[in-house]
């Protein structure tokens, strides 16, 4: 069973580094992300209450801290420290996704709370027998519900690029599609439906197998868009549909692929359909490719049963024509299968705080 997830339009995406990965287990165990930029200011605990300071006063405190070091460039360092802190406090928002990494893994979580000052170290036991442990002292924290944990060696190139900046806190909004393709087999956003597949074959991949995969995706587009041409099941002929779209130079499916083994194949199709019928059909066909059910998705009443069955049947015939089972086997084709529930569940989200919005307006 796979589900179709619709990306929230106002969601943003962030990376918070965990001291070179040293504290990623602390982040996960405590359900938090944290930075140490204010630790030397000796701020009082606010936990569990939010921390929204006067940003002018905070900048002055950070400036005084850097000036006392009597080192060249203290003003620039103070501005950088303040800028990172402001992002963490005000620009990151409840409902946004956050990524943290260490040498082996990347993990994704949902920010569910506002910033706090919590001076109680987070302790992680490293050895149950000896009691050996490490502590994370960072005091500026935000509550997070962590979701998937993914091996870095399995990350697509676009995702590796997105986390390459060296700051402690930074935004990766331009890479939202790479993040979603890594997490979801099917998702929708801004009138498009997206499909994610992965080539797991570690040896050299066959040009023929790849070309067959792309042909299957083209067939998926043709039959997803069949409703643009006819809603009569008796007229549902794949070849006639294909020829008409070809004559009109109307193919729209766009695909990004990493021609490596392993690698990724990401596709999207503009559907521009307020009824949601094309999303239903596209999802059912993608599910048919992998032999899985798609749900929960409204099917009955959205598309007439006879028409729906005829479209799926046509696609199954095309899969047989392309010998899809052999293609999937040779490419070791899979789709993302992660528990993304914590990323989508807003039941634990704290309500918006007007003080955060006031900070954004001031600055």
- Residues 107-120 pLDDT 10s: 999 999 999 999 99
Same domain, 237 and 159: no
In a domain, 4, yes or no: no
Domain assignment present for 77: yes
- The pLDDT of residue 262: 83
Extract the tokens encoding 278: 């094309």
84 with 170, same domain: the answer is yes
In this structure, the answer to whether residues 19 and 167 fall within a common structural domain is yes
Task: Write down the pLDDT at residue 339.
Answer: 95
Q: Establish if 3 belongs to a structural domain.
A: no
299 band by pLDDT with thresholds 50, 70 and 90: low
Calpha distance 61→55 (Å, rounded): 10
Q: Are 22 and 138 contained in the same domain?
A: yes
Tell me if 6 is assigned to some domain. no
Average pLDDT across the chain, whole number? 92
Does residue 345 share a domain with residue 276? no
Asked if 317 and 190 sit in the same domain, the reply is yes
> Do 233 and 269 fall into the same domain?
yes
Residues 118 and 176 occupy one common structural domain: yes
Does the residue 34 lie in any domain? yes
Task: Tell which residue, 97, 125, 77, 129, has the closest CA to residue 33.
Answer: 97
**Same domain membership, residue 256 and residue 231:** yes
Burial status of residue 326 (CB atoms within 10 A of its CB: 0-12, 13-18, 19 or more): exposed
What pLDDT is stored for residue 285 in this prediction? 95
Provide the residue count of the chain. Answer: 363
For residue range 170-221, list pLDDT tens digits in order: 999 999 999 999 999 999 999 899 999 999 988 888 889 999 999 999 999 9
User: Is 350 inside a domain boundary?
Assistant: yes
1 lies in some domain: no
Domain enclosing residue 160, as ranges = 12-180+341-362
Total domains present in the chain: 2
* Residue of 8, 31, 316 lying closest to 188 (CA atoms): 8
Does 327 share its domain with 251?
Answer: yes
**Do residues 167 and 212 both lie within one domain?**
no
pLDDT tier, 129 (very low <50, low <70, confident <90, very high otherwise): confident
0.85 surpassed by pTM: yes
- Which CATH number characterizes residue 172's domain? 3.10.590
Alpha-helical runs (H) found in 70-193: 74-86, 157-162, 176-183
Same domain, 162 and 264: no
- Mind giving me the DSSP string for 258-303? --SSSEEEEEEEE---TT-HHHHHHHHHHHHHHT--B-S---TTTS
């Amino acid at each position: 069973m796979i589900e179709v997830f619709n990306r929230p339009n106002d969601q943003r995406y962030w990376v918070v580094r965990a001291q070179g990965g040293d504290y990623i287990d602390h982040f996960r165990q405590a359900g938090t992300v944290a930075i140490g930029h204010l630790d030397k200011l000796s701020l009082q605990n606010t936990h569990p209450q939010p921390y929204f300071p006067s940003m002018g006063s905070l900048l002055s405190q950070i400036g005084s801290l850097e000036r006392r070091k009597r080192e060249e460039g203290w003003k620039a360092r103070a501005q950088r420290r303040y800028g990172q802190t402001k992002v963490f406090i005000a620009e990151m928002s409840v409902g946004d996704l956050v990524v943290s990494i260490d040498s082996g893994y990347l993990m994704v979580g949902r920010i569910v709370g506002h910033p706090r000052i919590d001076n109680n170290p987070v302790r992680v036991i490293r050895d149950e027998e000896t009691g050996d442990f490490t502590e994370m002292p960072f005091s500026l924290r935000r509550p997070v519900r962590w979701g998937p944990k993914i091996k870095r060696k399995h990350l697509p190139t676009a995702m590796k690029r997105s986390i390459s900046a060296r700051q402690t806190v930074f935004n990766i909004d331009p890479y939202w599609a790479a993040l979603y393709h890594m997490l979801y087999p099917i998702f929708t956003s801004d009138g498009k439906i997206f499909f994610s597949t992965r080539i797991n074959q570690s040896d050299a991949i066959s040009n023929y197998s790849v070309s067959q995969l792309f042909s299957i995706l083209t067939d998926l587009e043709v039959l997803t868009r069949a409703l643009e041409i006819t809603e009569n099941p008796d007229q549902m002929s794949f070849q006639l549909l294909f020829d008409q779209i070809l004559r009109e130079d109307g193919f729209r499916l766009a695909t990004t692929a990493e021609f490596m083994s392993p690698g990724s194949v990401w596709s999207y199709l503009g559907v521009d359909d307020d009824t949601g019928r094309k999303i239903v059909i596209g999802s059912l066909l993608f599910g048919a490719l992998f032999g899985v059910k798609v749900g929960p998705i409204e099917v009955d009443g959205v598309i007439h049963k006879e028409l729906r069955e005829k479209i799926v049947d046509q696609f199954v015939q095309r899969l047989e024509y392309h010998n899809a089972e052999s293609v999937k086997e040779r490419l070791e084709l899979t789709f993302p299968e992660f528990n993304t529930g914590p990323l989508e569940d807003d039941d634990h989200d704290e309500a918006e705080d007007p003080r955060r919005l006031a900070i954004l307006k001031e600055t």
